[in-house]
Structure 1
């Protein structure tokens, strides 16, 4: 190789490396607090189109799983009971936290535990994990789903969605689209094995950091600390909160290590909820107020809200009582039930770009999944018996 060429190459190498460092470093600040795409509605439509293409590529002509949170660990029943002190607290006394008109404070609930990946995964694989909670017997004005709907999709429910980490892997709708575009360009896989996915990881290091830290293995479902990671109104636009569901005092896992089978989270949950010997699981449902707007963005779900600035306030107890949940009919129900943070009272309206995207994207992908599987959308009652 000519010396002159080598000299030119060495001269170019340092500027190229500096440029790469600048690109990667600047991406930490790519999402300014409360930023949103210039045309967010188009971005949301594009997300739905990309995810539809991905699931059709993955599953056609087989059974269609969810586009994310594909693997169900379990769907179980629970009681969601509002703490007595909450109904007299002017900051908390809104929506379902007010209790029912008849004075009762307990709601029946269905809870779906999941692995968060967009494909069915082994429980021994690191993952964000997911929890969706649907309350029943909810009274009050409901939000439409999607935004063009003339009436609420579910009339007497309230959904809460969680992951096992306090921050999301995407900051806003554009970031969400960028990630799944990279997955599609990388051979319809989100694993960091293709150049598009690797490049996305390099140029979105805050997202990559959240994914590396948030993807975990757990010894059992009952030890997971659950976070909404996205914000919601509580009573109105002047009061913004995030939600959490944490193991109640005394709730510990009897296991010392992760399981040795692909479905050990389900197997261990069966033991905890065994009607003959299980004690069930209790979670504390809590809210975190947005006390420091300069540090706690609404439109950047990559950023967790520090508990030192905004402590958690317990508002309810979730009691997952002993039960059997492994009948084929209940698994079928679990596959077909739908969740959306916009299955909600107006008092709990979701806010932020990720939640605005979820409203229509989740609705669209549910329609695809149910249609492909020959199923229809339904509103559960909470009284189902299998």
Structure 2
């Protein structure tokens, strides 16, 4: 298998992103992706019939929106990859905290994966067509290191089960327990329900890193954030919006800091790319820091900012640098599904997509134009 000799923690052999074995598109994947897009639209319509507002098909519940910066230092050659990390610098960022499940009204007291979306501004480089006129890089995170929607085929199967049995948890679990990946499928309901500022966030899927392949993670690094990990949600005493309340209280008094880290792919059996349901072993393939994220004190739930993001913004990992290309089946699925989701959302809400080119376009207060 083609490799590149490089120097990380030790001398290591990293796999090239374009090696033949990295991506293997299975037959009928496009049909699976279209089936998932149709089911996502069905889920959106179901919630629209209740709320009379169209939300995104995933991560519809906004927990908070903040602004800050991504800070890149002087990195060794094997980490100084993509236009984001190739040289020291700072980039303005906007980040949205969310809950993954498709229900926009889900109770914060129910354990579920939590998401974080980051839009990085002033990024220069060769972009994919959908973002070629906009100097931004979209980056997605999730609070679980592996995703149960591990490829397009699995995603289609799971969404079929959820649509049919989503209202009957006993029958839903019966269907999931009949699967070989039952532990992975049920893990989303067993996550630790704690303060959003204490949660480590993961890419779950793999990405090109110029010559290499990486996943990435955002690690809370301030002592204040680390201590909050012990603060778990208690359904008996907390409200159904406790996570947003905790986030707002935190940012009213504290800055937040994160380390942006990557492990680099060396072994496709241990670190599969096409299947996103397996966590890469951090003991064998260490996380290496490529940047720091700093979020200053601020109001994390400005109504105008929330409305603007939910009504006009699309966060999509295919909106960005070719040198940071999303890899594998789940990311290929996202390319089609996200477009279908946002097209229906904008149509039903009578809104248009706004491709922001400056962080100043994201409101800090005041009114939002339709």
Please give the range of the TM-score, normalised by the shorter of the 2 chains. 0.7 to 0.9
Query: In structure 2, do the counterparts of structure 1 residues 53 and 371 end up closer, same or farther at CA, with 3 Å as the change threshold?
Result: same
SS across alignment from 2:113 = coil
Residue 50 of structure 2 corresponds to residue 58 of structure 1: no
Q: Match for residue 18 of structure 1?
A: none
Q: Match for residue 114 of structure 2?
A: 129
Query: In structure 2, do the counterparts of structure 1 residues 154 and 76 end up closer, same or farther at CA, with 3 Å as the change threshold?
Result: farther
The separation in 2 between residues aligned to 1:40 and 1:325, in whole angstroms, is 39
Give me the CA root mean square deviation.
Answer: 2.2
Query: In structure 2, do the counterparts of structure 1 residues 177 and 370 end up closer, same or farther at CA, with 3 Å as the change threshold?
Result: same
Mapping of residues 214-225 of structure 1, within 5 Å: 215-225=190-200
Contact 1:164 1:214 survives alignment (8 Å)? no
SS across alignment from 2:254 = coil
2:241 is matched with which residue: 263, 267, 285? 263
Q: CA deviation at 1:298?
A: 0.8
Q: Match for residue 89 of structure 1?
A: 77
The separation in 2 between residues aligned to 1:40 and 1:374, in whole angstroms, is 32
Q: Match for residue 3 of structure 1?
A: none
Contact 1:165 1:229 survives alignment (8 Å)? yes
Residue 351 of structure 2 corresponds to residue 369 of structure 1: no
Q: Match for residue 244 of structure 1?
A: 217
Query: In structure 2, do the counterparts of structure 1 residues 214 and 224 end up closer, same or farther at CA, with 3 Å as the change threshold?
Result: farther
Mapping of residues 1-386 of structure 1, within 5 Å: 36-60=25-49, 62-82=52-72, 84-86=73-75, 88-99=76-87, 105-120=89-104, 121-145=106-130, 152=131, 155-186=134-165, 189=166, 192-194=169-171, 197-209=172-184, 211-212=186-187, 215-236=190-211, 239-250=212-223, 251-254=225-228, 256-258=231-233, 260-274=238-252, 278-336=253-311, 337-380=313-356, 381-383=358-360, 384=362, 385-386=364-365
Q: CA deviation at 1:167?
A: 0.4
Aligned length: 334
CA offsets 1:42-89 (integer angstroms, 9 cap, x no match):
11111111211221123137101121112110111111111x222x42
CA offsets 1:6-48 (integer angstroms, 9 cap, x no match):
xxxxxxxxxxxxxxxxxxxxxxxxxxx9665411111111111
The separation in 2 between residues aligned to 1:375 and 1:214, in whole angstroms, is 33
Query: In structure 2, do the counterparts of structure 1 residues 182 and 154 end up closer, same or farther at CA, with 3 Å as the change threshold?
Result: farther
CA offsets 1:243-295 (integer angstroms, 9 cap, x no match):
10011152324564326011111111111111xxx121111111111122221
When normalised by structure 1's length, the TM-score is: 0.81
Query: In structure 2, do the counterparts of structure 1 residues 112 and 40 end up closer, same or farther at CA, with 3 Å as the change threshold?
Result: same
Contact 2:97 2:116 survives alignment (8 Å)? yes
Contact 1:158 1:345 survives alignment (8 Å)? yes
Contact 1:169 1:207 survives alignment (8 Å)? no
SS across alignment from 1:272 = helix
When normalised by structure 2's length, the TM-score is: 0.84
The separation in 2 between residues aligned to 1:77 and 1:377, in whole angstroms, is 20
Structure 1: segments with no counterpart, 5+ residues? 1-32, 146-151
Contact 1:222 1:253 survives alignment (8 Å)? no
Query: In structure 2, do the counterparts of structure 1 residues 112 and 169 end up closer, same or farther at CA, with 3 Å as the change threshold?
Result: same
Contact 2:176 2:186 survives alignment (8 Å)? no
SS across alignment from 2:197 = helix
SS across alignment from 1:306 = coil
SS across alignment from 1:297 = coil
The separation in 1 between residues aligned to 2:167 and 2:213, in whole angstroms, is 32
Structure 2: segments with no counterpart, 5+ residues? 1-21, 366-370
Larger radius of gyration: 1
The separation in 2 between residues aligned to 1:173 and 1:200, in whole angstroms, is 19
Query: In structure 2, do the counterparts of structure 1 residues 129 and 207 end up closer, same or farther at CA, with 3 Å as the change threshold?
Result: farther
The separation in 1 between residues aligned to 2:185 and 2:196, in whole angstroms, is 20
Contact 2:195 2:231 survives alignment (8 Å)? no
